[in-house]
Structure 1
């Protein structure tokens, strides 16, 4: 069957959403793929930003989302998984939260670091759930999930919303763009795993006098 270009685009989008676990009809059990991909892209962004700040010796822009002590011991992946599991928010909330975090940081001219990511996540996911989900827990419940007080989460939410000018709508084009970024991370991880698997298989083969080296590089955008 020949599809028009618009239909092809819709088909590709449907495949991407299904691969990320955003499509309820995907039949994928367990955590949606978007969860691990979001944590991966955030971790890479933090590593890049903190290295850049250290190299340039610039002071990090301090915000209300900064922790006063060292970063929480819970990893980003574990934190997102905890919020997703117990808030029962839709997978699409994670994509919206990613959009909101980027909008917020752009507005204030700051970079994502390990000192702000956890508070930004609990705030942005809660805001996204309130905006698009039919049912959503209150701030007190999300505060317990995030490990902060209700009063603090209330302050974080207000600051977040006012910084965004309460503009929470995400166009289809922007949603598609951010999904593509997450899919790029997935493609890179698959490529690295394939290369690692090929190297493991090669090491297990008998050495017949031939030698070669395999090199590659992967840079997340």
Structure 2
């Protein structure tokens, strides 16, 4: 689906909170940004000849078999969080990364980071909210786990939760640039498709070489 900056801006500022409202466009943009960050981290790790550094914060033993897009859509389906909540959650993720330079978003921590920041952002933005236990069920976690991650997030961010109008506007503009013509949103998707194609081609070539050696 093509998303224009104007369409995204309209969705951010005139979103309908009705029960049958469409999925906010910002979900696709935020998902793409986070996927790009993860892909960049993986490329850096591969170039350095090692795996991604594992951190204890938000880390799980096995990466969930769910895309970021699907996970954010699940959060929306059960919480109906408006577009502004996703923007504020992205602000929190950015602040958390800046306050903790050693932290790297990876498949092992991204889902837990998302549900935690979304819950905290919802508490900041929305007038009425679900309990932590409900967010935990939505995120596929135990309440005790989510409570602990919320406390860790707040302390590691230095409790810097306030997002003023100018900061919110700047992040909205950043998201708009991601969906502008020729912007990174489209480029990154093209890169990922090319990487998957090259990976498939390399696997096929290795299989062909293996068969050829056997026949010889």
Q: TM-score, normalised by structure 1?
A: 0.73
**C-alpha separation in 2, matches of 1:34 and 1:189:** 18
SS at match of 1:151: helix
Q: Deviations along 1:166-204, whole A, 9 cap, x unmatched?
A: 1210122221121122112212478959xx9xxxxxxxx
**C-alpha separation in 2, matches of 1:117 and 1:22:** 27
Which stretch shifts more, 111-120 or 134-143?
111-120
SS at match of 1:187: coil
Deviation at 1:33, TM superposition (A): 0.8
Give the aligned partner of residue 118 of structure 2. Answer: 125
Contact 2:116 2:146 in 1 (8 A): yes
Contact 2:87 2:172 in 1 (8 A): yes
Contact 1:35 1:77 in 2 (8 A): yes
Tell which has more relative contact order, 1 or 2 (C-alpha 8 A, sep 6+): 2
Give the aligned partner of residue 111 of structure 1. Answer: 104
**C-alpha separation in 1, matches of 2:6 and 2:162:** 21
**C-alpha separation in 2, matches of 1:142 and 1:17:** 27
Matched, 1:89 2:81: yes
Contact 1:89 1:136 in 2 (8 A): no
Contact 2:99 2:156 in 1 (8 A): yes
SS at match of 1:134: coil
Unmatched runs of 5 consecutive residues or more in structure 1: 1-12, 197-221
**C-alpha separation in 1, matches of 2:133 and 2:82:** 19
Give the aligned partner of residue 60 of structure 1. Answer: 53
Give the aligned partner of residue 207 of structure 2. Answer: none
User: How much is the aligned-residue C-alpha RMSD, in angstroms?
Assistant: 2.8
Give the aligned partner of residue 172 of structure 1. Answer: 165
Q: TM-score, normalised by structure 2?
A: 0.75
